[in-house]
Homo-oligomer: A and B are copies of this chain.
Amino acid sequence: MEPIEEIIANNLVNLRKKRGLSLDKVADLTGVSKAMLAQIEKGKSSPTVTTLWKIANGLQVSFSVFMKEAVKPQIEKININQLPPVIDNNGNYLVYSIFPYHPEKKFEIFTVDLKPGYSHISEKHLGEEYILIKSGELTIDIHGKEFVLTTNETINFSSSAEHSYINSSKELVSFYIFIYYPDDIH
């Protein structure tokens, strides 16, 4: 048995035990057979990369979790009206940070109100951006290319591209911005 097999074995056993899952349940979640999971946990078999990928996907952990070596039950309800805007362009472009970035997390969420006829140029920044429309119609210019989003449309793009938000419509547009910061940014 190679050292890497033992590392994976230990990590899989620990994760499964921590979650209180049976081999059967993990097999259901991952599409990998119960017998194979047992072999891996016992260090009796070295799984293919595909198999380990399936396990990671099924257990919704990063692949790297198996290569290496905290949860607070907390309910936080927020009333946006009581938040000060982090950006206020005379009431025409309002940004509220509803779930701020936290060093142990890799995302933050904003909500934005943009009045008709107004736009906002966003500076290039790290991360991936996901735009979720709440109401109205938003035009996004991403590096010179325009996309129009209505309430049944959503978009994601790399924030390192130049982009701006534009309200070309006759009504207020409200939307959520979710910014995800992947682990290693080279």
Contacts and interface: CB of A to CB of B under 8 A. Distances in A.
Contacts of A134: 132-135, 151
Interface residues of A, number: 81
Contact of A180 (B107, B111, B133, B158): B107
A64 B132 CA distance: 30
Which of A50, A57, A69, A78 lies at the interface centre, i.e. has the most chain B CB atoms within 10 A of its CB?
A: A50
Interface in A69-121: 69-81, 98-99, 101, 103-107, 109, 111
A81 B103 CA distance: 35
Contacts of A109: 130, 132, 178
Contacts of A132: 109, 111, 132, 134, 176
Interface in A99-157: 99, 101, 103-107, 109, 111, 126-127, 130, 132-135, 142, 145, 147, 149, 151-157
28 contacts: A2-B50, A2-B53, A4-B50, A19-B126, A49-B49, A60-B101, A60-B181, A63-B103, A64-B67, A70-B182, A72-B158, A73-B158, A75-B147, A75-B157, A75-B161, A76-B157, A77-B155, A78-B155, A79-B153, A80-B153, A99-B156, A104-B182, A105-B180, A107-B107, A107-B180, A109-B132, A133-B134, A135-B135
